[in-house]
Structures are given as structure tokens and as C-alpha cells.
Chain A
Amino acid sequence: MLRLEPRPQASRAMIYLSPLLALLLTLGSGFVIFRLLGVDAGQALYAFFIQPLSDGYGVSELLVKAVPLVLIGVGLAVGFRANVWNIGAEGQLAMGAVFAGGLAIWVPEESGVWVLPAMLLLGMLGGMLWAAIPALLRTRYNANEILTSLMLSYVALLFLSYLVHGPWRDPEGFNFPESKLFAASATLPILLDGTRLHLGLPIAMAVVAGVWVMLARTLVGFQVRVVGASPRAAQFAGFRERAMIWFALLLAGALAGLAGMIEVAGPIGQLVPQVSPGYGFTAIIVAFVGRLHPAGVTAAGLLLALSYLGGENLQIEMGLPQAVTGVFQGMLLFYLLACDVMIHYRVRIGRPRVIEGARR
């Protein structure tokens, strides 16, 4: 029988150990799952975790996949700290892609340097607008933002699908549901020849640094922490809950929209029905595994980017379905939540000698 004994103070050691422990447990479970699927577990784990990083190109791909995850993850982390649960990042990403892509399709082939910055802004704007809806519904009508943002996510993806199947379909595209390829001036420049590593990387790094400073050193960051810990105390301090909800959702929306723009102007190069393999949802995991802290989110982003590469690799090398990626990601979050318990509690097994009494 499991029993939890509260610790007098949060264990600092466990704060850092817990993600590692969770990772180990995930690996162990992965081992078991592969055995059950009838494949060589060792080989599978190698193909999943090590092989993708075995060459320079692999590492660059890791970074390419990590950029959107970290961008969205950082935005979500700020929101989660303030108890604002934005689950619709996937939709905000899509809208960012739509806004930015709209400009990209429209501009003629040889346009000036203004195109990319404009696309950046439009991408952020698209995401912000889409996130503004759940913010409005929550602040004015009390509607739970988990459900509204999620429903809107489905709507946004359907909208994107409509656009690329219909009005924005490439007339010379052989009837495939995709827009025309973006002009060179509307595509993110590659940083390293031979890779797909693009300008999105330094942008993401700058964002992470900015959010870090904001959370740690500014009053706004303090507000985020207080609102999340105790809404009543935030009221006492005069921090307005509504302002916080707007801030958290708009920030996350902007970053998700930015990620959307980066994806379509970078690796993808055009608008397609599926602009993201679920980054908006995986970023939730990234935020938690990263302990809702920008530095942690960066590390977690890299880890989860690896899980995408691993899943693809498993499919190629061993014919396993892509769904393995989702299983690993879900398991990691699970184990993390379970291990996090040990930060605040000691786990004891067995019957209590003494019935727990009230704290005096």
C-alpha cells in the first residue's frame, strides 16, 4: 500500500533527478514494448535514440525539429505556470502558417527583404488572433480554455485544409492539395549548406533568452508565478487575473504562430494540409518535462525532437508504425508526472504505524 508523507520543504535534488528518472523509466518501458512487438529491443532502442544522431545531418535535423517544439513549449510553459491551459497550440500554429503563407503566395517572385520580417509578424499575428478567441471566451464568458482552444484547433486545421484544397491550391500543382512553393524571398535562408538548418534557430534562441529574463527578473514574470500559485493572493496584490490570461494566451499564440511561419517558410516551403506532425501537442510534453523553465524546455525540446527522428527511423529501418513516437512521448509525460510527486512527498510502502494526524 502506497503512502505519501509530505516533505517539509521541496527536495531540490528531486527537481533535477525526476526528469532523468522519468527518462530511464521510459526507456525501460520502451524495451518491454519492443519485446512485446516481437522486435529486437536493443536494436530498436538504438535505432530510436542513437542512430538519428550518428551524423552531422542527423544533428541538424534534430535542431530543425527542436525549433518549433521549443518555441511553442516556452510559450506554453509561461501559460501553464499561470494556470492557463492552452491546448490549442496546434491550431494557433496552423493559423500562423496560414497568415504568413498567405503573404508568401501573394508576393511576386523577386521581392525585397521586407517579405520575411513581414511574414514573421504575420505569423505571430495569426497565432495571436487565434489564441485571442479562447482568451475572450474565458475572460468574458468563463468558458474553460482547455476545451475552447482545443475545439478551435480542429477548426483551424480544417480551415487550412479548405484553403489548400480550394482557393490557394497551386494551379500548376497537378491537383495536389498544396499551395505553390514560396518564392526565395519568402523562404528562410539556410544557415548551413547541406542541411535544412535555417534562420529559425537563432530566432528561437533569442526567444528563449527573452522569456527567461522575463520570468526571472521582471514584475510580469513574478505575476505569472503568483497567479499560478495562488489566484487569491494575486488578487490581493492587485494583479488582474484577466490581464494574465490574455498575456499568457497571446504570448503562447504568438510563439505558436511564429513556429507555424517558420515551418512553412523553412523546411516545408509551401502550405500543405499537415504543416505539423503534432508539434502543438508534443510541446505540452516539452513544457512539462522542461519543468516549465526556459532552460529545461530547451533540453526537453531536443529530447522530444529526437523522439520524432527516432520514430521515423524506426519506420524506415524496422518497419514499425510511426505511432511508437506518440507512445514514447505519452509515457515520458506520465513517468515525469509520477516522479515529480517525489519532489514534495516521500513515498512509503506498507501500513502506517500511526494514523496520520493533523499538522499542529
Chain B
Amino acid sequence: MNETLLVLQAACLTIIGAATPLLFAALGELVTERAGVLNLGLEGMMLIGAVAAFAATVVSGNPYLGVLLGALAGALMALLHGIMVLTLLTNQVATGLAMTLFGVGLSALLGAGFVGVTVAPLPALPVPLLASLPLLGPLLFEHNLLVYLSLLLVVGLSLFICRTRAGLILRAVGESPSSAHALGYPVIRIRYLALLFGGAMAGVGGAYLSLVYTPMWSENMTAGRGWVALALVVFASWRPGRALLGAYMFGGVTILQLHGQGMGLSIPSQFLSMLPYLATVLVLVLISRDGVKLRENRPASLGLLFRPSS
């Protein structure tokens, strides 16, 4: 009996570990897309965040500083993306791809000196009293800062988007930037802010990977998670609560991948590794099938060019 509980506990912890970086990236992209901006450079921004966070931690010894720097690095890349698509009006898809390619290359370059180095991962922060609860304790209340932060962010963003005036303006900008502009709202500035937030969150997600998930750096360590996060945003119908659900479901798939063979499945490891990607495709298909529903939930101006002209 105890055995199974321990196994379940380990499984849940794995899920949380796998889901958190995705959740950060997806939440950030959610806000960005709500403003009508498509950021396909998530993968690149996560990698840059990962390498920046790792390097900062190695140099300074303080992982929290690493997280901060990871966020900053992600935001900087998002700023670059913003200059291209918001000010210079380049094609959002192509620019996002360029960001990813550039991010992959730059992070590999910057991280070359750090391959093989290890750091102590982010410490767990047990919540006093609650952490000593028998089962739930270690499960829910003994995580590192980032996990708590990700959950708080889900709640915070939900309230922000649906209940506050700023959230309303964000939604308006994503629905119809021309109407928002006609009403006098600073559309471009709002989009920049949304993009910076998205980039920072992607950076934090990357930092989680290099500071907690596998506390080391290797080239291309995100292995497509940035793209999965993009799919998650669609799956979540641009709502934070559902993004949480999606990220954790994805974490569940990861368990199969990591522990499949240990669980007795005699499938070659490569096929297990395919699971997350196939799951993403499946999720996309399921959510996109209803074209009508998709259009109703999607911010109407997503990916479209906007040039303010009164």
C-alpha cells in the first residue's frame, strides 16, 4: 500500500516538474496572443532564458538571481521581436522563426563554456505547517519558488484578464486594434508590454529547465517545449485555467516517456520519446476541429498586421 502511494507521489512530482516550464511559457504566450501578437520565437526565448539563468547562477552562486536574469534575457529577445513585428511590421511568422533559429544558435554559443558544469538546483521551499501533512505535504507544499509562482500566476492572470480594466483593454486590443486605436488606446505600447511579459515568462520557463529540471546546460535542451507551449495556448482557448490543465496533462504524458520502460512497457525508448510530440499533434487536432468554436475563442487580430492610421 505504501509502495503504490510512494510511486504515485513520485509520479505527481514528475508531472509537476515537467509541467511547470510549459506552464510559464504558455501563460506568457497567452497574454501576448490576447493582445493579438503571435510569438513563434518561444523556443528561442526559452533557450536564451535557460542559458542566461544557468550562466548567472554559475557565476554568482545565487539561483534566484539566475531566474531573474533568465526572465530578463527572455524579455530582451521579446523586445527585439517587438521591434521587428510591431514597429517595422515584418511578417510575424517569419520573424518568430528567425527568433527561434537565432535563439538556438546564440544560446549554444553562449552556453558552450558551461557544458558539463553543474549547479545546485533551486531549493525547495516547504510551507511551514502544511508541509508536514502526511501525504499532501510533500506533494503540494514542498516545492521550489517557481512552482508556487506558476500556480499563483494562473489565478492572477485569470483575474487580470476577466475582471480588471487593464485586462479588458488587453482583450480589446487583441480583438480589434483598429477600434482600440480609434478609441484612443495606445495599441502598440500595449502590445509591446504583452510581448515583454511573454518573453520574460518564456525565460523563466527556460530557467526552470536549466536550474531545476536538469540542473545543467546542454544545447537545445528545450527539445521543442516552446512549440508545445504554443499548441497549449490554442488548447487552452486562451484561458489561464485551461492552460494549467493542458500543461499538467502534458506532464502526465511525460511520465510515460520517462518511466515507461521501468513500468514494464517493452517499447523502444525512441517511441516513448515520441509521445509528447504525438500528444501535441493530437491535442491540436482535437481543439482545431471545431473551426467555429476556434474562431470564437481566438483573439480576432492574432497575427495580422496593424498599422495605426487615424
Taking beta carbons and an 8 Å cutoff, which residues of A are in contact with B? 2, 4, 6, 85, 87, 137, 141-144, 146-148, 150-152, 154-155, 158-159, 161-162, 165-166, 281, 284-285, 288, 321-331, 333-334, 337-338, 340-341, 345, 355-359
Contacts and interface: CB of A to CB of B under 8 A. Distances in A.
Interface residues of B, number: 49
Interface string B83-112: 010011111011101110111111011001
B309 interface: yes
Interface in B271-287: 271, 273-274, 277-278, 280-281, 284-285
Nearest to B269: A162
B261 to A, nearest CB: 14
B270 interface: yes
Given A144-B288, A329-B101, A334 B230 contact: no
A337 B291 contact: no
B90 A340 contact: yes
A4 B88 contact: yes
B281 A357 contact: no
Contacts of A288: 94
A328 B106 CA distance: 9
A356 B84 contact: no
Given A143-B288, A321-B108, A337-B84, A154 B89 contact: no
A311 to B, nearest CB: 10
Contacts of A323: 105-106, 108-109, 112, 219
A215 B124 CA distance: 59
B289 A141 contact: yes
Contact of A154 (B109, B224, B234): B224
Contact of B310 (A2, A152, A281, A356): A356
5 smallest CB-CB distances across A and B, nearest first, come from: A326-B105, A330-B102, A323-B108, A162-B270, A327-B105
Nearest to B81: A334
A144 B109 contact: no
Contacts of A165: 268, 270
Contacts of A146: 40, 93
A328 to B, nearest CB: 8
B161 interface: no
Contacts of A321: 108-109, 112
Given A148-B281, A288-B94, A337-B95, A158 B270 contact: yes
Contacts of A148: 281, 284-285
B84 A162 contact: no
A166 B102 contact: no
A155 B274 contact: yes
A325 B101 CA distance: 11
A334 B96 CA distance: 10
Contacts of B270: 158-159, 161-162, 165
Given A137-B281, A161-B270, A331-B102, 18 more contacts: A2-B88, A4-B87, A4-B307, A142-B291, A143-B281, A143-B284, A151-B231, A152-B277, A158-B271, A159-B274, A321-B108, A326-B109, A327-B106, A330-B102, A330-B104, A333-B94, A341-B90, A356-B310
